[in-house]
Amino acid sequence: MLQELSESDSKWRQIALNICKDKSLADDIVQDMYFKLVDYPRENIRSLVPFVTVVMRRMAINIYNKKKDTSLTTFHYLESNDNAFEPDDYEQEILDNAALLTWSERELLEEVYDRSYREIEEIYNIDHCHSFRKVRKARNKILNK
Give the model confidence (pLDDT) of 98-137 as tens digits.
889 998 898 898 889 888 888 888 888 889 899 999 999 9
Domain count, the chain: 2
The DSSP result for 103-118, as a single string, is HHHHHHHHHHHHS-HH
**40 and 33 Cβ atoms separated by less than 8 Å:** no
End position of a domain, from candidates 46, 69, 92: 69
Instruction: Name the residue range of residue 51's domain.
Output: 2-69
What's the pLDDT score for residue 83? 60
> What own/partner pairs with CB < 8 Å and gap ≥ 24 does 106-110 have?
106/138, 108/134, 108/135, 108/138, 109/135, 109/138, 109/139
What 3-state class would DSSP assign to 37?
Answer: helix
Regarding whether 60 and 6 lie in a shared domain, the answer is yes
Predicted confidence (pLDDT) at residue 65 exceeds the cutoff of 60: yes
What's the pLDDT score for residue 136? 92
Share of the chain above pLDDT 70, in %: 83
Least confidently predicted of 50-59, 62-71, 75-84, 135-144: 75-84
Regarding whether 50 and 98 lie in a shared domain, the answer is no
Predicted confidence (pLDDT) at residue 77 exceeds the cutoff of 60: no
